[in-house]
Every structure is written in structure tokens, then in C-alpha cells.
Amino acid sequence: MWSLLLIYGLINSAIILLQTIGFGLTFSISGIANFSYGALYILSGIITWLFLNYGFSLAISIVISILITSLGGFFIYWLVIYRIKGMPLSEVIITFSLGVAIIEFLRWKGFVTYEFNVSPILKGSIFIGNVPVDLQRVIIFFSAFLLLVALYLFSHYTKIGLALRGLSQNEQTALCFGINTELLSSVSVMLGAGICALSANLILPLGIISMDSGYDVLLVAIAVTVVGGLGSSTGLLLASLIFGYIQTATTIFLSSKWMMVIYLFSIIAVLMIKPSGILGRFKEIEERI
Amino acid sequence: MNTLNTLNTVNIAKRKERIDRAIKARCNDIYTLLSLKEISYVIAPKLCLILFIFIFPLLKAILGYYWERVFYITCLIAILAISWELLSYVGLVSLGQAFVFGTGAYISGIFNINFHIPVPFSILLASGFGALICTLILFPASKIKGIYFAMITLCIPMFFSKVIEATEIFGGTSGISGISPIGNYYVEMYFPALVLIGAFFCLRRLMSTDFGLLIIGIKDNEFSLMSSGINIYKIKFFVIFLSSALGCFSGACMCHYYQFVGISAFSLDYSIIPLACSILGGIDGFSGSLIGAFVVCPLSEMLRGFGTLRIVIYSVLLIMFILLVPEGIFSYISRKYHQIERWKEI
């Protein structure tokens, strides 16, 4: 029982981290809350499924789906968000309705039955101690780890990454140093969408592609970003660990329908008590009187 | 001729000039109304609205039951949109009006089924109690501004629907059915219509009083109000209570109309539709929400045949309006009513 909790808690944390990191990245870099995130998640799964059905191999389908979704993020920025930037609520309303439009459109097109699933990269399972873990979950765990390392290296040692960090710290100053902030904001949305697509392709094989999971993913992303603290990557990691273990514990000891209740409760409670999150230091004065 | 035209556009630039109509300038102050024409210029828009709302339910024989039903739902959504608008007046932009709506619906249903309270009273009681509950939950969140408040309000209705689903209180997923209807056709139609008109005109009047100025001031700059020694939380409490009462009333009426209340009352639809109404109509005034509701709801009923594509069309409309017509329908109409436009050479 306890080893089950330990191992699956860790894996669930990795899943949550993967689901969240794209949203958190975009939000912390450019301050854009991309509420169409859940829709992009579902969309990339559907794209992979479509290409698999056209007879492409899994690897190619995944790459194509990531590319298309990133491009989608890029265009969402320039066609929609760019025109209303600086009005956070309009951004939220517009990206949210975009997300709803995408998800409901897919639902209307009939992508709702159990046949819509993405096949896992590796089938089969291994035993860790006496707990059976399927290989897809192992892959998810290691790719979450690799993604973190890659993002660290990207943001600390490449020119674009450093510019992105500059943008996240202060937009005006970044502009003074000759950083094209508009372009980089669009890059941040694109990066978020790309990571979202990657996580979708890794995580969706665990179940079927259901449209409601689009809303759930958005909710998880918001929950973790908010609880962890906006703009804090350590907080993101910590919050995913907390939520991963809470999720596993509720599934083992209670029932899975309590999971969403706990998510929602924690978002509401944290936002009401400490809107900047566990580890967030920024914006404390701005958001509260 | 062609060359002349090109010359015109190239050399002599033109711009559109908007000037207030003479009658508007004369009617700006109510004491200078001299003729019947001027009086009717001032009254006509309001009279049109009132007459429309009063006469429409009488046309049942001509229009049929279907459009009366659409009218009823439109009135309720308009009330919900007005309650959203009122909340946004103190700078609280809610993405979860469904919470208020669902609370009203559930409380009215429970009062009616469990306590056997007859219908009109259960609606009124639900408005009061529901408003109290909603205020107790929303008020702590009112210290948080902007996007954070939007996130909280997005989560609250979802939270309650999941709690009801998980604990299976209030009938769980199957909801409460067998709620008694209002019964009398005219009472059923005029009750929300009168509340709508009353709320609309009273709130407009409220906004032009000193207290209304304080409410508008909160949206513009809270800090300056606080430094003037005004307790803004008192005002916020009052506004949240009023707005919740309206929203709960709308939900309560809806639950008696369908004779059923379930977790669908907390669904996303009731959060998005008032938002769509207000944005389509224009977000700076109650008139915008009202007109928006009378555009969106009939449209949505006409689109009912499309199934879930309806929500897609809504959302796309919402995006288009935010991007292309951010001022909304109402500003457009009132501009046409009050101003003349002409091209002017510069």
C-alpha cells in the first residue's frame, strides 16, 4: 500500500508537472494566462490520432502534432492576444472562449467515443519492488525530469532563454536592452503550446481522449500554477508534488470523484488566503489591497 | 471622374466628424424640455423597452408558446447579465455567474420540495437566502482583483457541482425534480419581466446618485476612495449582495419553470451567456447587458438545433466582438440616436 502510494504519487506528480509546465511557463514569462491550454491539449491528441490513422508512424505523428500545436499557439498570440494585450481580463475571456470553441467543436465533430486514443510509445510493464508500473508511466517520469533539465539549460545558457527570463523579470527594461518583447511573448505562448502538445502525447495514451479532460487539464494547470506561486518554478515543482500525492492518496483511500473537489478547494482556498501562492513573491502588492 | 475621385482621396484627406444632434444638446438638461418632440426624444427609448416587455407576453395567440418561452428565458438571462454588470461595476469581473444562478435554483427547489413553501414566496426567499450565502462566499474573494478574482469565480461553481456529485446531497447527479411550477401564465411571464424592468431602472438611478458615484469610483481607483476615508468594503458588500440577489432570483425562476434543478444549474453555460450578453451589448452600462440579452438569447434558441455547435458559435461571436466591436451594440445604437455623422475635409 505505502510503496504504491510512494511510487504512483511520484508518477502522478510527474504527470501533473508535465500538464502544468506549459501553462506556468507562458504565464510566468509574459503574464499571459492562456486559458485555451486545455483545448490545445486535446487538439494535439486528436491531431496525433488523425495522423496515426493516415498511416504515419507514431514518432512522426507526435512530432507533427507538436509542431502544429506550437504554430497554433504562435497564431493565437498574433491574431488574438496581441490585439488586446494589457487587458488581462479580456485576455482571459478571449482565450477561454477560444478554448471552449475548440473543445466544443471537436465534441460536435464526434471525437467523443472510446476509439479515439493515442497508442503508447512502449507497451508492457515492469515491477519496481512489488508494484507494477507500465512503461508509458516510466517514460512520462523520465521525460518530465528531462524536460525540467532541458528548460533549465535553455533558460540559462541560450540567448533566447536569457531574453525570455529578462522579459519575465521586467518588460520595460527588457525592451530597453533591445529585446523584441512582442516576438518573445509570442515565443512564450508557442513554447507553452508545444510543451502542452508533448505532454498530451505522453499522457493521453494512459486513457482515452475525452473532451472533459480538456477542462480538467486547464483546471489542474491553474491549480498548480496558483498554489505553487505565480512566476516561481520551484513552487511549480513543489505544488505538483503536493497535488500528485494528494491525488494518489484520494484515489487509494477515498474515491477518485473526490479528486476534483480537492483541486478546486485548494485553488479557491489558496487564492483567497494567499493569492501569490506558496512560494510566489511577486505581485503581492498589486493583487491585494 | 475617376481621376477626380482619386485626387480627392489622395490630396484632400477627409475624416468622419460626429456631432450631437441639436435636440440632444437641448434635451441634455431635463428642465429645458419645451415641446412634445423633445419629451418624446428623451422618453422614447425607455418607453419602447417597457412597452415591448409588457406587450410581448400578450401576443401568445399570435406568436405561439415557443416564442413566449424564449421571451421568459431572455428575461431571466437579462437579469443575470445585469447582475454580472453590477458586479463588474466594483471592478469584480466574474467568470462564474453560474454559481449565483445555481445557488438560487437549488435553494428555491429545496424550499419548495422539502419545506412546502408555495411558489412565489420560495422564489423571493431563495433570492434573499441565496444572496446571503453567495455574499458570504464571494465577499472574502472581493479583496482580490482582476484575473485572480476571475479564476476564483471560475472555480467556485465547478467546486459546488463536484461536491454535489461526490457527496450526493440534494439529489446528487439526478437533481431535484417535481418542483411545482408557478401555474398562472400571466404571473409566470410578468413576474420576471417586472423584476427586470424594476432592477434595470432602479440600478440606473442608483448609479447616478452619490452612492452610485462611490460604486463607480471603486472600479476606477480604490486607493483614492480609501484615502478619502470611505469604507469600500461596505460598498462592495452591498453591491455583491444586490448582484447575488438578482442572480439568485433568475436561477429560482428558472428552476420553477423547468420544474427541475440539477448540477446543470452550475454549468458553464450560465457563466458564459451573461458574459456574452454584456460584451455583445457593451460593458459600460446596464442597457448594454439588456440589449445583449435580447440579441443573444433568441439567437441561441434559434441555434438550438445545432447541438453543442451552439456554444462554439457563442464563443466565436464573443471573440469577434471583443476584437472587432469592443464598444458593443448599445454604444453603436446610442451613437446613431444621439449624433449625426458627416465627412469633413481637412
* Each residue's pLDDT tens digit, B187-206: 888 989 999 999 999 999 99
Task: Name the more confident of B245 and B342.
Answer: B245
Q: Residue B302: exposed, middle, or buried by beta-carbon count in 10 A (0-12, 13-18, 19+)?
A: exposed
Mean pLDDT of B65-90: 90
Percent pLDDT > 70 in chain A is 94
Residues with Cβ within 8 Å of B297's Cβ and at least 6 positions away in sequence, in order, are B70, B73, B74, B77, B78, B273, B277
Residue B31 lies in a domain: no
Interchain proximity B155–A268, CB inside 8 Å: yes
Interchain proximity A89–B323, CB inside 8 Å: no
Q: Among A134-138, B25-29, B90-94, where is mean pLDDT lowest?
A: B25-29
CB-CB: which of B143, B151, B223 is closest to A222? B151
**pLDDT confidence tier of residue B2, bands split at 50, 70 and 90:** very low
* Each residue's pLDDT tens digit, B204-227: 999 989 999 999 898 888 889 999
Percent pLDDT > 90 in chain B is 29
Mean pLDDT of A113-129: 73
Interchain proximity A101–B159, CB inside 8 Å: no
Q: What is the pLDDT of residue A59?
A: 87
Residue B303 one-letter amino acid: L
Q: What is the pLDDT of residue B327?
A: 82
How far is the CA of B283 from the CAs of A94, A279, B247, B287, in angstroms?
A: 15, 36, 18, 9
Q: What distance in Å separates residue A127's CA from the closest CA in chain B?
A: 33
pLDDT of A55 above 80: yes
Q: What is the pLDDT of residue A169?
A: 81
Interchain proximity B314–A97, CB inside 8 Å: yes
Count of all residues that appear for chain A in the document = 289
**pLDDT confidence tier of residue B129, bands split at 50, 70 and 90:** very high
pLDDT of A79 above 80: yes
**pLDDT confidence tier of residue A285, bands split at 50, 70 and 90:** very low
Q: How many domains does chain B have?
A: 1
Q: Among A192-206, A224-238, B206-220, where is mean pLDDT lowest?
A: A224-238
pLDDT of B53 above 60: yes
- Cα dihedral B68→B308→B96→B175 (10° resolution): 70
Interchain proximity B158–A264, CB inside 8 Å: yes
The CATH number given to A2-287 is: 1.10.3470
Does B323 touch chain A if contact means CB atoms closer than 8 Å? yes
CB-CB: which of A90, A100, A255 is closest to B322? A90
Residue B333 lies in a domain: yes
Q: What is the pLDDT of residue B3?
A: 46
**pLDDT confidence tier of residue B322, bands split at 50, 70 and 90:** confident
- When scoring A83, A90, A268 by the number of chain B Cβ atoms within 10 A, the one with the most, hence best to mutate, is A268
- Residues of chain A with C-beta less than 8 angstroms from the C-beta of B223: 289
CA atoms of B30 and B164, how far apart (whole Å): 53
CA atoms of A98 and A76, how far apart (whole Å): 9
Q: What is the pLDDT of residue A194?
A: 94
- Residues of chain B with C-beta less than 8 angstroms from the C-beta of A107: 308
Q: What is the pLDDT of residue A85?
A: 82
- Residues of chain A with C-beta less than 8 angstroms from the C-beta of B144: 271-272, 275, 287-288
Q: What distance in Å separates residue A107's CA from the closest CA in chain B?
A: 7
Residue B45 lies in a domain: no
Q: What is the pLDDT of residue A280?
A: 65
Task: Find cell 457593451 and name the residue.
Answer: B282
CA atoms of B260 and B174, how far apart (whole Å): 10
What is the domain-level CATH number for residue B214?
1.10.3470
Mean pLDDT of B113-117: 88
A257-271, B102-116, B317-331: range with highest mean pLDDT: B102-116
Q: Among B22-31, B86-95, B184-193, B303-312, where is mean pLDDT lowest?
A: B22-31
Mean pLDDT of A48-55: 87
Task: Name the more confident of A227 and A282.
Answer: A227
CA atoms of B345 and B200, how far apart (whole Å): 42
Q: What is the DSSP string of B149-197?
A: HHHHHHHHHHHHHHHHHHH-GGGGGG-EE-PPP---HHHHHHHHHHHHH
**Domain coverage including residue B201:** 59-341
Kind and range of the H or E element at B105? helix B97-114
Q: Provide the residue ranges of all domains of chain A, joining segments of one domain with +.
A: 2-287
Confidence check on the interface: ipTM exceeds 0.90, yes or no: no
Helices then strands, counting H and E runs in chain B, come out as 16, 4
Interchain proximity B156–A105, CB inside 8 Å: no
Count of all residues that appear for chain B in the document = 346
CA atoms of A67 and A60, how far apart (whole Å): 11
* Each residue's pLDDT tens digit, B256-265: 988 888 888 8
- Residues of chain A with C-beta less than 8 angstroms from the C-beta of B147: 33, 88-89, 92
Does B270 touch chain A if contact means CB atoms closer than 8 Å? no
Kind and range of the H or E element at B343? strand B339-345
Interchain proximity B146–A94, CB inside 8 Å: no
pLDDT of B117 above 90: no
Chain A residue closest to B147 (CA)? A89
Q: What distance in Å separates residue B222's CA from the closest CA in chain A?
A: 9
CA atoms of B310 and B259, how far apart (whole Å): 24
- Residues of chain A with C-beta less than 8 angstroms from the C-beta of B134: none
